[in-house]
Amino acid sequence: MTHTDNNTAAYCAIRTAWKNRELLFNASNSDAFRIFHGFEEGIEGVVIEKFGDVAVIQFTRDIRDISDDIIQALLDSFPFRLIVAKAHQSLKMKIKQRVFIVHERDPSDDYWAHEHNIHYKINPLAIHNCGLYLDARPVRQWIKANSQDRKVINLFSFTGSLGLAAMVGGAKSVTHLDKTVAMLPCLRENYKKNGLTFDNRDFVQGDIYRHLPRAVKAGRTFDGIILDPPPKVYKSGYARNKPQGQDFAQLVDICKQLLSPGGWLVAMFHRFEKTWDEFESEVIEASNNELTATERFTSETDFPESDMRNKLRVSVFFKHDKQSEKKQLE
């Protein structure tokens, strides 16, 4: 049965959103996109993302009255193998009831997304993110293009997608640091699928406030640092001060000591109480003016926002090479 004559608001909104992304679909060598962006496109509280032949519906409101129309609109747009629905924790549902399959063809536990010729393992039934933050697509592309022969460290690495982009881009080495080992199997599979060799020493489990000062003391340096702290950094007994928000003041102070002259630091800002300029100023001040902001990135057209302040904000900083600058002045 097809709903090509379906005129419900939900069905039409999703079909329109799909058509609005055709240019992005056709112009990219990726198959993972946000295909519906909630309130901005006509259904408040609903977000839908595509990972290869998997669709994930995320909702913060009761959608039982429109769920059939949503599913049919998706199937009329693309032959999805799997469609999963995820309820937000604010709906106060039991964890086991928050994620459920609403459509499945050819059952499997092996799902992959592809982005700029990189393969990413996907876990559609994960309670939170399934392995790839789609708004960071342009950041991964930049990291891939700017990692050749660099030693890179990926902080708060999660599934390691940003570090994986660096490795595919020819990085000399990539170290992933995270507090949990839960996503380590996914990281290993990503390396293998992309023809890369993974060494257990490439992943460090532990408290960032403990391990980074140790690395400084040991004289380690990196040519690229990916700094992607969560909106609220975890409490740590090793932190000099109690972490506040994303805690760039403390983290950048340590990172600047690990970053080689001429090296880059990618900082991802997930909070909105400050402007982009204010966050950049915080990073530069924390580096004692050793870093300079050079580039900015935000999410692409599959994340439409009438208020640009609500979009992802990412800045690239480079560390001054004082010796080279001095030679140029001589």
How does the average pLDDT of the chain come out, rounded?
93
pLDDT over threshold 70, residue 29 = yes
Helix ranges restricted to H, 135-265: 137-145, 161-168, 184-193, 208-217, 248-258
**Please, what are the domains in the chain?**
9-115 (3.30.750.80), 133-329 (3.40.50.150)
Residue 266 contacts residue 2 (beta carbons within 8 Å)? no
pLDDT digits (tens, 9 = 90+) for 308-329: 888 999 999 999 886 555 444 4
How far apart are the C-alpha atoms of 128 and 133, rounded to whole Å?
Answer: 11
Confidence of residue 3 (pLDDT cuts 50, 70, 90): very low
Parallel, antiparallel, or unpaired for β 203-205 and 222-227?
unpaired
What pLDDT is attached to residue 325? 52
pLDDT digits (tens, 9 = 90+) for 224-274: 999 999 999 999 999 999 999 999 999 999 999 999 999 999 999 999 999
Residue whose tokens read 């056709």: 26
The answer to which of 30-34, 56-60, 90-94, 99-103 has the lowest mean pLDDT is 90-94
